[in-house]
Every structure is written in structure tokens, then in C-alpha cells.
């Protein structure tokens, strides 16, 4: 029987949060990622990136279960958000946003497996844009994080509170280097906006 792995349980403190900000130390993690730019609500590039990301992530899961006898839960999608000019980074100017969406991968997933999964998905779904998909390491280290419940548009006060918590500790961050990080715990297709659960994370120095 294939062994079952749930990285949300292995890294419990990274994938659970409350309305009270806390500090966490994030180890280097391997991620499947896609970069892009523009308003995620209207950008075709963003929707295509999401489809490509999940298509390859699930292909990797099925391959690992069949060939390695390792079964695991596909992790939730996460996103890094920033702007070239962080002074202009706001919910009113989403067209200027830069983003990297990604899914954390188990440590036994290899570059060879990713390349093979991409090739299979490309053959099955030739219309998908897979050329920008990467397999890389994300190293954030010390971070502050908090849980936001509600729509993405209502995150402002929660983000402000998180930043105030960081400043009160004597720490700081540069939004273009230590990028704003969101972890989407809810299924956005089936959850009403006011019930969405999102971990907001900010790497710090």
C-alpha cells in the first residue's frame, strides 16, 4: 500500500494560523512555480498559469503514487505578490502587480519527474502554456504570519496589523525582496468570499 504524506501536517505551524500574528521559521522548500504580471481577476495569463500549475502538480502526484509508491496530498496554491514600484502597490492598481504562484512539492519530487510530467501534460493539453513553469527552491526563513478570513479585497486591515506586529518587534522588510506571501486554504470555486481563509505571510529581516 502506498504511504500517505500530508505536508500540511508535517509543517503544521506553517499551514495553520489564527487572527493573532505570530513568527514562524520557514525551511527551504521545493516549489513548482509560474511567474506573471497583471490583475489576477481579469488576466488570462493568471488563469492559464493556475491551470498549468495544477495540471502538472496532479500529474506528479499520480506518477509518484504509481512509480514510487508514495501517495500525498497536493498542497494548496500559494502566491507571492509585489510591484516594481512598491509605493504603487495597492488594491486599486492591480494591473501593475507582479506575481508568482506556486505549489510546494515533496522532497522526493525531482527535476526529471517534473520534466516528464510537463511533457505528458503538454501532449494531453497542447493549448496550455507550460514554458514558464519552473521547479525551484523557495527560502524565506523568519516570517510573520496571520490568518485572514474574508474576501481578498478586505485584506487591507489584516495586512496593516501584520506589518505593525513586525515593526513593534524591531524587525523590517522590503516588499520587493521579502515579498508578500499568501496561502489559499479555501477552495475559491466553492467558498463564498466572506468565508475564504487565507494565511498572510511576510518574510522579515
Residue 126 belongs to a domain: yes
Residue 11 belongs to a domain: no
Total count of residues recorded for the chain: 205
Express each pLDDT in 157-199 by its tens digit.
Answer: 999 999 999 999 999 999 889 999 999 999 888 999 999 999 9
Residue 2 belongs to a domain: no
pLDDT band at 129 (very low <50, low <70, confident <90, very high): confident
Q: Return the CATH number at 194.
A: 3.20.80.10
pLDDT band at 134 (very low <50, low <70, confident <90, very high): very high
Lowest mean pLDDT among 56-70, 75-89, 184-198: 75-89
H or E element that contains 33: strand 29-37
**Average pLDDT, stretch 113-127?**
96
Q: Give the range of the structural domain holding residue 91, as residue numbers without chain letter.
A: 17-203
β-strand pairing of 3-5 with 70-72: parallel
| DSSP assignment string, 86-116 | GGG-SGGGGGG-EEEEEEE--TT--HHHHHH
Express each pLDDT in 92-108 by its tens digit.
Answer: 566 778 999 999 999 99
What is the total count of domains within the chain? 1
Express each pLDDT in 35-51 by its tens digit.
Answer: 999 888 888 999 999 99
Residues forming a β-bridge with 180: 81
Amino acid at each position: 500500500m502506498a504511504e500517505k504524506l500530508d505536508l500540511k501536517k508535517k509543517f503544521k505551524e506553517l499551514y495553520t494560523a489564527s487572527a493573532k500574528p505570530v513568527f514562524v521559521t520557514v525551511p527551504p522548500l521545493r516549489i513548482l512555480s509560474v511567474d506573471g504580471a497583471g490583475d489576477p481577476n481579469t488576466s488570462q495569463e493568471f488563469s492559464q498559469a493556475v491551470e498549468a500549475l495544477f495540471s502538472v502538480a496532479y500529474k506528479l502526484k499520480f506518477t509518484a503514487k504509481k512509480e514510487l509508491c508514495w501517495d500525498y496530498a497536493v498542497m494548496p496554491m500559494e502566491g507571492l505578490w509585489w510591484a516594481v514600484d512598491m509605493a504603487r502597490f495597492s488594491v486599486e492598481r492591480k494591473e501593475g502587480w507582479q506575481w508568482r504562484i506556486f505549489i510546494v512539492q515533496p522532497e522526493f519530487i525531482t527535476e526529471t519527474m517534473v520534466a516528464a510530467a510537463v511533457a505528458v501534460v503538454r501532449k494531453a493539453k497542447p493549448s496550455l502554456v507550460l514554458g514558464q513553469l519552473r521547479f525551484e527552491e523557495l527560502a524565506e526563513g523568519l516570517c510573520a504570519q496571520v490568518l485572514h478570513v474574508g474576501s481578498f479585497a478586505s485584506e487591507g486591515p489584516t495586512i496593516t496589523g501584520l506589518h505593525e506586529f513586525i515593526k513593534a518587534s524591531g524587525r523590517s522588510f522590503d516588499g520587493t525582496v521579502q515579498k508578500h506571501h499568501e496561502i489559499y486554504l479555501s477552495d475559491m470555486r466553492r467558498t463564498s468570499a466572506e468565508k475564504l481563509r487565507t494565511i498572510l505571510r511576510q518574510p522579515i529581516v
